[in-house]
Amino acid sequence: MAAVQETIDQVRLIDVDQYKYGFESAIEMDKAPKGLSEEIIRFISAKKQEPDWMLEWRLDAYKRWLTMEEPSWARVDYPKIDFNDLHYYAAPKSQSGPKSIDEVDPEILKIYEKLGIPLREQEILAGVKTSKIAVDAVFDSVSVVTTFKEELKKAGVIFMSISEAIREYPDLVRQYLGSVVPTTDNYYATLNSAVFTDGSFVFVPKGVRCPMELSTYFRINEKNTGQFERTLIIAEEGAYVSYLEGCTAPQRDENQLHAAVVELVALDDAEIKYSTVQNWYPGDKEGKGGIYNFVTKRGDCRGHRSKISWTQVETGSAITWKYPSCILRGDDSRGEFYSIAVSNGHQQIDSGTKMIHLGKNTSSRIISKGIAAGVSQNTYRGQVSAHRKATNARNFTQCDSLLIGDRCGAHTVPYIEAKNATAQFEHEATTSKISEDQLFYCLQRGIPEEAAIALIVNGFVKEVIQELPMEFAVEAQKLIGISLEGSVG
């Protein structure tokens, strides 16, 4: 491209504004001292007025964690994390239980406004049933406000922060917590089990179709805090729920740690749809700062004919280590994974899924679209396995990678394991660059190069975007455009 001054200026402008969610919020925070110890865990548990069994559970996980080693198999490279140099608890000080949205600190509301969380908007839209979304906003580690609680209660749906749920529905939480991702699962999940501070809890009782989309907004605000949220969603027999999760974090120099655990349980004929748009701070142009995102997400299709569907749009974080998985335990159960992973700058993504076929006639579908630009590394890592008794297990996997620029990398590492002759597995993967013909076609019609690339990329990921709830699909498309800004030239 000829570098006219105008273009240079434009690109510079984009760089400055590249991370548009990178503002800090001056809100008084209540923090635990740095470091991790039994005392800190007791402190967190006491702060949350948790029952004894919960504290024991945490301490047990902590002891286990001390004996574990940080995994090194992923294709990500980062300096060693000092787990004692982090705050494990940070809560906005003015968090003394807002009863309604009006009682929430206006500063916090302002942040949400900047983020574009449609809290207010939702109230206005309250009359329009179909587009209603109940939001649970998690600010650093603490759930600040959950909207539409009353209305959900009428339908029998429990949607609240997990801290509240531990206090109000201890038996329910105790029955399911850790039943999908046990405290011993992996390094980060075990750490999370010890120190998780908040997250969302959803319980949809038998036969209930959740009347609205549920949504959580995570935001890491305070310096040096690790955010460890824990989400637990249970859909009883025949229930249905669609859950959205969006994440942003302010721009900071240091790396911030995020290690979440999400557990989904679907009983007979239940369906859970879980969508994520992750746009945490990816670090600056030199690769300084950004979020380390080490997440364990797993769904258990425990019942017959149950279905769990993961959709993710990953555009943020310096490092993403994330494999939303499905355990297809029930007969005729189904798992789906739709993913868009966009990496630019110095980002490193190692993400994919696991489909573990245990029951008869189980099926799964994986569509993964990776886009690498800048000097980023983008890896798809996935496992599909059919166990001895998984008669007629079926899987279709397609993972396509798109490379923009010659200094990035795209990698595909699938593990395909069949232990049953009636299993049918199909896997295909392609890697290529943006077609010059397509680009030329757009340029010729006067579409600027950057817009043309965004257009082509959006075409490339369309299959996944279609799986997102409508409100999110629009946002996700814009996000992909923003993430790729500055990748041309």
Q: Which residues bind another protein (CB under 8 A)?
A: 69, 73, 388, 401, 403-433
Residue 321: CB minimum distance to another protein, A? 16
Q: How far apart are CA 386 and CA 363, in angstroms?
A: 10
Local structure of 20: helix, strand or coil:
coil
Copy the structure tokens of residue 216. 């959580």
- Contact indicator for 36, 190 with CB cutoff of 8 Å: no
- CA proximity to 368, closest of 359, 358, 355, 387: 355
User: Are β-strands 319-322 and 271-279 bridged in parallel, bridged antiparallel, or unpaired?
Assistant: unpaired
User: Are β-strands 158-161 and 200-204 bridged in parallel, bridged antiparallel, or unpaired?
Assistant: antiparallel
Residue 350: CB minimum distance to another protein, A? 13
Nearer to another protein, 216 or 377 (CB): 377
Residue 130: CB minimum distance to another protein, A? 41
Copy the structure tokens of residue 432. 């290529």
For residue 102, what are the contacts with CB-CB under 8 A and spacing of at least 6?
Answer: none
Nearer to another protein, 341 or 410 (CB): 410
Nearer to another protein, 114 or 407 (CB): 407
Nearer to another protein, 99 or 388 (CB): 388
Residue 431: CB minimum distance to another protein, A? 4
- Contact indicator for 280, 248 with CB cutoff of 8 Å: yes
Q: How far is CA 332 from the centre of its chain?
A: 27
Q: How far apart are CA 235 and CA 211, in angstroms?
A: 13
Nearer to another protein, 251 or 420 (CB): 420
Nearer to another protein, 251 or 392 (CB): 392
- Contact indicator for 485, 374 with CB cutoff of 8 Å: no
Q: How far apart are CA 267 and CA 235, in angstroms?
A: 6
Q: How far apart are CA 71 and CA 20, in angstroms?
A: 32
Residue 386: CB minimum distance to another protein, A? 8
Residue 436: CB minimum distance to another protein, A? 9
H-run or E-run covering 314: strand 307-314
Q: How far apart are CA 123 and CA 133, in angstroms?
A: 10
Nearer to another protein, 102 or 406 (CB): 406
Amino acid, single-letter form, for residue 93: K
Q: How far is CA 307 from the centre of its chain?
A: 19
Residue 126: CB minimum distance to another protein, A? 49
Nearer to another protein, 414 or 481 (CB): 414
Residue 188: CB minimum distance to another protein, A? 19
- Contact indicator for 133, 215 with CB cutoff of 8 Å: yes
Local structure of 422: helix, strand or coil:
coil
Residue 406: CB minimum distance to another protein, A? 5
Residue 433: CB minimum distance to another protein, A? 4
Q: First-to-last CA distance in the chain?
A: 6
Nearer to another protein, 117 or 371 (CB): 371
Residue 303: CB minimum distance to another protein, A? 25
Nearer to another protein, 430 or 466 (CB): 430
- Contact indicator for 391, 424 with CB cutoff of 8 Å: no
Nearer to another protein, 235 or 410 (CB): 410
Neighbour count for residue 12 (Cβ, 10 Å): 11
Using alpha carbons, list the distances in angstroms from residue 328 to 162, 291, 376, 379: 25, 31, 33, 24
